[in-house]
Amino acid sequence: MRSVEPLIASVLEDREYRHGGQPAWAAEHALDFAHRNGVEHLVEETLTTLAIAMTPPSYQWLTKRLGVLWTMFMVARDVDERALTVWMSEAANLLCDLPHDIVAFAIDEAIRTSPHGFIPSVGEIRKHADPLASLRRTQLSRLEQMKAALADPIATATRAQRRREREAHERDQARFAK
């Protein structure tokens, strides 16, 4: 499954500590944190990579994977061929909105954690997939906000001034600490 480089992932998370009234996450704060950790240059690349990773599986891949799942769990049972077709079609329709890597992972996790000897339900698969898909959508949205802030000349000038002031403050602190 596609994951985000750890330092970029930490930039995209809500802040644990914030002053009263501040939002849990802000693009400018995230950009400053990314700059301090040397990963600001990875924002656009990560955004592009994650946007590509949002691609859903092909219907053919999904029905084939579900067919394997059906066969694996129903091997010892008499099964109506029409039931297989209907189940695969409905399950594929209910899972086709998920990114390919996430649905593949979720199917595997549903099999691994299945508490019964039956085929995992779509709900059991989605229980594993939905939080991951939600996290990825949040990461994409935040990366888009960061990219927009980087492209905004006024925000960029303000950010540069803020960073110069912070560096000057840190130099003064170091001088007084001696």
17 in a domain, yes or no?
yes
1 in a domain, yes or no?
no
Chain segment 53-106, per-residue pLDDT in tens: 999 999 999 999 998 887 777 666 676 778 778 888 999 999 999 999 999 999
Three-state secondary structure call for residue 17: coil
pTM: 0.84
Domain hosting 63: range is 59-134
Same domain (yes/no): 46, 74: no
With 0-12 / 13-18 / 19 or more C-beta atoms within 10 angstroms meaning exposed / middle / buried, residue 62 is: buried
Residue 31 near residue 75 (C-beta atoms within 8 A)? no
Same domain (yes/no): 102, 68: yes
Quick one: what percent of the chain has pLDDT higher than 90? 64
14 in a domain, yes or no?
yes
Same domain (yes/no): 25, 46: yes
74 in a domain, yes or no?
yes
Q: What DSSP element (H or E) covers 138?
A: helix 122-151
Chain segment 32-53, per-residue pLDDT in tens: 999 999 999 999 999 999 999 9
Same domain (yes/no): 127, 160: no
Residue 38, phi-psi category: left (phi > 0), alpha (psi -120 to 50), beta (remainder): left
What's the whole-number average pLDDT of the chain?
Answer: 90
Same domain (yes/no): 38, 99: no
Same domain (yes/no): 20, 79: no
Same domain (yes/no): 40, 63: no
pLDDT for res 82: 84
Residue 85 near residue 123 (C-beta atoms within 8 A)? no
12 in a domain, yes or no?
yes
With 0-12 / 13-18 / 19 or more C-beta atoms within 10 angstroms meaning exposed / middle / buried, residue 58 is: exposed
